[in-house]
Structure 1
Amino acid sequence: MSPETIAPSFLNFDSTSRRVRLNPRDADFFQNPYVAYAYLHRVSPTFFWEDYGFWCVSGFETVNRLLRDRRFGRENRWGPPVNVIEGREHLSAFDAAERHSLLEREAPVHTRLRALVNRAFVSRQIERLRPRVEALAHELVDRFDKDRRADLLPAFATPIPVTVIAEMLGVPADMGPQLVAWSNRMVAMYMHRPTRDTQDDANAAARDFSAFLRGYIVQRRSDPGDDLLSLLISASETGERLTEDELISSVILLLNAGHEATVHQTGNAVKTILEQGGDPRRFVAAEADAAKAVEECLRFDAPLHMFTRYAYETVEIEPGVVVPPGESVGLLLGAANSDPAAFVDPRRFDPDRPDQKNVSFGAGIHFCIGAPLARLEMQVALKVLFERLPGLSLAQPPRYRDGFHFHGLERLVCVW
């Protein structure tokens, strides 16, 4: 009997109902979710996850299809569903920041908001940032401790995307640590069943983040610059294209999403490449090599493992699996990227694989607007890091944080 046919000890599967009991905060699971994915791909790629209370899909083709299916969307048109927090008065600031987010809206509002910010994130605009990202990566390596040991998450993976997105928006770069703190406190809400303390902390972070932006926007209105925030402010002043609340939500989303996933993916990528052994420079010898390595890292150990959608009508996602209007469906991006039906030997790291593809940035109208920026940042950062420190190695086995949705490391301590 192959390992894929044996249920992991932390997972219970009922083959008759296709119901799964699997605590997403079980360390055995979030430290290596791919064991569970391999089993579920074998026995039931689509299943009802009891811990969340909705159907989930893990097959690559199904996830890719549902991401593009307009019968599903991010916008909650029925109020809080049964599987989220009841009585959300204590989350008023957090909900206000989320309510007008590009990520949470559908057409026509989504179309209008995305059109405003998209021009700054097209590939030809992002490519102009390559020299800045490269210079920043070199500066960070120059600052590494002389004892040839560092935790690369705070020392390298975090400052690059935070600095770049802050500069793009025109937010002071020295606000970086505060932006990261606010972001981390807000995204903690996406953990499974966050505690009341976590909820209160996320709400306070959203309140303070919004207050800072409202004050800073007042300053930028009187002193606009050549940056994305000034562009968005200009659009808001027409009163037709962007409201003040939409402006606040959009900037929070861009600042949060502009670094959160990239930090996790950079850390995961360094871990993955170093675990291959040998000289890491072979993966980044040329820009084309670095690009292929980044794509495989995105597939092999993605930073986001679940993305949810609401059904806008009754949808039979496959024979016998019907999702009624207002119910959620979980799209398991990390599992889809490891689907043996879509990838040959999916748990083998191979940047030269002919079937190179992934759903780590989503698909459809909510495809990650920052994908070109994230790709460039990782390509440049990994190339600089491994060329400067070819003897880099893991000082200790990295462990992942307690967070299934955002799959990233607690620490990445390396020596050279």
Structure 2
Amino acid sequence: MPAADPGGGAAPSASPSPTELGFRPGDPAFLADPYPVFRALADAGPALYYPERDLWLLTRFTDVHAALRHRGLGRIYTHRHSAADLGLPEPEAAYPRWQASEQWSLLNLEPPDHTRLRRLVTKVFTARSVAAMRPTIERICREQLGPLATRESFDVLADFAQPYSIAVICALLGVPAEAGPTLLAWSHAIVKMYEFQTTDAERDGAERAAADFIAYVRALIGDRRTDPRDDLITELVQVADEGDRLSEDEIVSTVIVLLNAGHEATVNTLGNGLRAACLFPDEWRRVVGGEVSPATAVEELIRWDAPLQLFERWVLEDGVELAGRTFRAGERIGMMFGVANRDPERFPDPDRFDIGRGDAGHIGFGGGTHFCIGAPLARLELDIALTQLAAAGPDLHWVEEPQYQPYFVIRGLRSLRVQLR
């Protein structure tokens, strides 16, 4: 039903709706270049009601930043309310295996469960342990990129970014490298459930993939209990803190979210970012020539064309004040990462792709309680990939104009066929 305004009436109608301003997440023309529409949304107001999803869209950096840290918001509401309490329909019981894969995901939990689970996971998935992977990641990158450098052209996504990212995750988890293509297929299927529009076939595919992924991880856990190894799954099985341990279901969800979120972010940042490098070759030459370090360039790749465009949260209590509006419990907020990352109040000349901008304060890895636990690994993977690509591809350019995937929330290309020289 329409959300109430601060005075208790229906959703405001004075401002044009996001759809009237061109916000059409299923439209290929919008997906090809959403940023002019994003500017129109931001100009129309800091909080816009989107009736198609009964969702309030936040369009300003300051408000998105605040919402990410607001304790009155949550990815779920069931830890504090029933659906009846909030006047909401009971959640659908469909797709039980997909829901099981998400049940203990750090992306979805709220304190105190989130606090406990994150404490245990971060005891083994530390910045130091990630940094120690640099030689392994550099080797994997060389193995993936080396043969491609001699080709006339190759697809950045299918030939390089996807196998590279999956191989890194496999090495981290202790999963056989030959399982990479299977894990990739499961990941692609599962993340379709995060989109605004999904078909019955996509939802059924996500359910099958989740069932297979859960069974695979359970088998790995069982193996590591009897045959411990030097890998993350073994450490998750063995970790203990103040007498507390992770349950098998918690390990399953943790492994799945590490692979899905980590893989999708790295692959789409490389695809979207290298498309930008092809659009602005003078900027790419700043990296090639050593003026801008790859680690600095990574931040602009994430900011300028964000791989995650929106993150939703429930309002958990009456009286939450954001974006000049007072919200009530049971409403939903959509934090527009792609809009916030182009906010001129936060980023000077925000539509300019400035590869040396080096502003790590973008909203690309979330924030607050849900700041991405895999951010250090993603940054390291991207740094290494750009370092080796800059050495191999001083004249990086595409050979055919790339097209975006028909999805909004997770933004990425279908392919990016390039030549390096």
Task: Tell me if 1:73 matches 2:74.
Answer: yes
Which residue of structure 1 lines up, in the alignment, with residue 9 of structure 2? none
Letter of the 1:19 partner, please give it.
S
**When the two structures are superposed, what TM-score results if normalisation uses the length of structure 1?**
0.90
Query: Does 1:177 pair with 2:181?
Result: yes
Deviation of 1:405 (Å):
0.5
Amino acid at match of 1:412: L
SS of 2:246's equivalent in the other structure is coil
- Residue 71 of structure 1 deviates from its aligned partner by 0.7
Q: Does 1:141 align with 2:145?
A: yes
Give the residue type in structure 1 aligned to 2:386. L
Aligned equivalent of 1:301, options 297, 301, 305:
305
1:17-49, Cα deviation, whole Å (9 max, x unpaired):
553223211112111111111111222132011
Look up the equivalent residue of 1:41 and give its one-letter code: A
- The code of the aligned residue for 2:260 comes to N
Aligned partners of 1:409, 1:395: CA distance in 2, in Å? 15
Secondary structure (helix, strand or coil) at the match of 2:313 reads strand
Q: Which digits, 9 at most, give the CA deviation of each residue in 1:250-307, with x for residues without a partner?
A: 1111111121111101111111112112483422555962121111111111100000
Question: Equivalents in 1 of 2:83, 2:301: separation in Å?
Answer: 35
Structure 1 residues 83 and 232, CA gap change in structure 2 (3 angstroms): farther
Decide which of 327, 343, 360 is 2:331's aligned counterpart. Answer: 327
Q: Is the 8 A contact 2:149 2:392 kept in 1?
A: no
Q: Secondary structure at the match of 2:154?
A: strand
Q: Cα gap change, 1:351/1:393 in structure 2, threshold over 3 Å: closer, same or farther?
A: closer
**By how many angstroms is 1:72 displaced?**
0.7
- 1:145-204 deviation digits (Å, cap 9, x = unpaired): 854111110111112221112211111121111111001000011121312221111111
Matched, 1:272 2:276: yes
Which residue type is aligned with residue 74 of structure 2? G
Alignment partner of 2:49: what SS? strand
More deviation, 85-94/55-64: 85-94
The answer to whether the 8 Å contact 1:281/1:387 transfers is no
Contact 1:90 1:203 in 2 (8 A): no
The equivalent residue for 1:226 is: 230
1:98 maps to a residue whose letter is E
1: CA distance, partners of 2:30 / 2:241: 48
Shift of 1:371: 0.6
Partner of 1:59 in structure 2?
A: 60
Q: Do residues 34 (structure 1) and 38 (structure 2) align? A: no
CA distance in 2, matches of 1:67, 1:230: 32
2-structure distance, mates of 1:83, 1:164 = 45
Q: Report the counterpart of residue 215 of structure 1 in structure 2.
A: 219
For residues 325 and 289 of structure 1, do their structure 2 counterparts lie closer, same or farther at Cα, with a shift above 3 Å needed? same
Partner of 2:100: 96
- Partner of 2:321, secondary structure, is strand
Is 1:121–1:372's contact at 8 Å kept on the other side of the alignment?
no
**What is residue 393 of structure 2 aligned with on the other side?**
389
The answer to whether the 8 Å contact 2:26/2:407 transfers is yes
Letter in 2 for 1:245: D
The 8 Å contact of residues 296 and 357 in structure 2, kept in 1 or not, is answered as no
Distance 1:327 1:242 in 2: 32
**Using the alignment, how far apart are the partners of 1:239 and 1:248 within structure 2?**
20
Residue type of the alignment partner of 2:17: R
Say if 1:354 and 1:393 are closer, same or farther in 2 by CA, change over 3 A.
Answer: closer
Partner of 1:19: 17
CA displacement at 1:219 relative to structure 2: 1.2
Q: Secondary structure at 2:120's aligned position in 1?
A: helix
Q: What is the CA–CA distance in structure 2 between the aligned matches of 1:287 and 1:161, rounded to whole Å? A: 27
Partner of 2:372: 368
Structure 2 residue runs without a partner (length 5+): 1-11
How far apart are the structure 2 equivalents of 1:33 and 1:198? 24
Any unmatched runs of 5+ in structure 1?
A: 1-13
Superposition pairs for residues 326-365 of structure 1, below 5 Å? 326-353=330-357, 357-365=361-369
Q: 1:293 to 1:83 in 2, by over 3 A?
A: farther
One-letter amino acid of the counterpart of residue 38, structure 2:
Y
**Partners of 2:53 and 2:251 in 1: how far apart?**
32
Equivalent-residue separation in structure 2 for 1:168 and 1:287 (angstroms) = 32
* CA displacement 1:46-73 (0-9 Å, x = unmatched): 2011222110101001100110111111
Hey, what's the Cα distance between the residues in 2 that align with 1:194 and 1:133?
A: 34
Q: Residue 220 and residue 325 in structure 1: after superposition, are their counterparts in 2 closer, same or farther (change >3 A)?
A: same
Partners of 1:311 and 1:327 within 8 A in 2? yes
Change (3 A) 1:76 1:388: same
- In the alignment, is the contact (CA less than 8 A) between 2:58 and 2:323 conserved in 1? no
Any idea what the Cα deviations from partners look like across 1:124-143, whole Å, max 9, x if unmatched? 33222222222222211222
Q: Identity of counterpart residues, as a percentage? A: 39
Indicate if the aligned counterparts of 2:300 and 2:359 stay in contact, CA closer than 8 A.
Answer: no
Give secondary structure in 1 for the equivalent of 2:95.
helix
C-alpha spacing 1:337/1:320, structure 2 compared with 1 (3 Å): closer
Structure 2 vs 1, CA of residues 129 and 225 (structure 1 numbering), >3 Å: closer, same or farther? same
Q: 2:53 aligns to what SS in structure 1?
A: coil
1:403 corresponding residue in structure 2 = 407
TM-score, structure 2 as length reference: 0.89
The aligned counterpart of 2:109 is: 105
- 2:293 paired with 1:283: no
Deviates more, 1:296-305 or 1:167-176: 167-176
Shift of 1:239: 8.7
| Distance apart, 1:120 and its partner CA | 4.1
Out of 200, 206, 213, the position equivalent to 2:210 is 206
Which residue number corresponds to residue 5 of structure 2? none
Tell me the secondary structure at the aligned position of residue 56 of structure 2.
Answer: strand
Match of 1:415 among 407, 415, 419: 419
Distance 2:400 2:158 in 1: 16
8 Å CA contact 2:286, 2:292 repeated in 1: no
